Amino acid sequence: MKHSLIIVFGIGSLVSNFAFANAADLAKAKNCMACHSIDHKVVGPAFKDVAAKHTGEKEAENKLAQKVMKGGGGVWGGMAMPPNTNVTEAEAHTLVKWVLSLK
Ligand code: HEC
């Protein structure tokens, strides 16, 4: 009994760590990190600043997922983000959920 409980908790924390590493790896694989960093501005805004700006905003996940796929500008000043045509809608949602969770 004791042992099976330990195994259940072990698997639980493995799964949640894996989910996190996955989105971060996806961001690297999709080249997001060429223009973004988690905590400082590169070409685009720091992902932590994006999370802070859009916290509590209605439809933030949908709007940002569309923007990741189609590109766009005018929010952060300076350059616009080009379309990321290598990202599917599902991947865009995964990436945006991850970005919005960074605070
Ligand atoms: C060529 C550089 C470049 C690449 C590659 C890039 N971005 Fe961006 N990103 C930008 C710039 C520049 C902005 C600021 C746009 C603006 O001011 O509205 C931005 C803005 C954003 C925003 C905030 C949009 C808003 O309205 O607040 C998110 C979220 C984002 N990028 C996610 C991603 C993700 C996810 C990827 C990878 C699939 C990615 N970006 C790839 C340059 C890039």
**Bigger pLDDT: 41 or 6?**
41
Tokens (6 digits) for 86: 């290598």
Confidence category of residue 98, pLDDT binned at 50, 70, 90: very high
Model confidence at 73: pLDDT above 70: yes
Q: Return all residues near 52 (Cβ < 8 A) that are at least 6 apart.
A: 103
First-to-last C-alpha distance (Å) of the chain: 38
pLDDT tens digits, one per residue of 13-44: 555 555 556 899 999 999 999 999 999 999 99
State the sign of the Cα–Cα–Cα–Cα dihedral 80, 81, 85, 89.
negative
Model confidence at 70: pLDDT above 70: yes
Query: Is the separation of the CB atoms in 30 and 91 below 8 Å?
Result: yes
Model confidence at 6: pLDDT above 70: no
For residue 73, give the amino acid letter: G
Distance 13 CA to ligand 1 centre (A): 30
- Percentage of the chain lying above the pLDDT 90 cut: 77
Distance 83 CA to ligand 1 centre (A): 9
Per-residue pLDDT at 17: 52
Which residues have C-beta atoms less than 6 Å from ligand 1? 27, 30-32, 34-36, 43-45, 50, 53, 64, 67-68, 72-76, 79-82, 84, 87, 95-96, 99
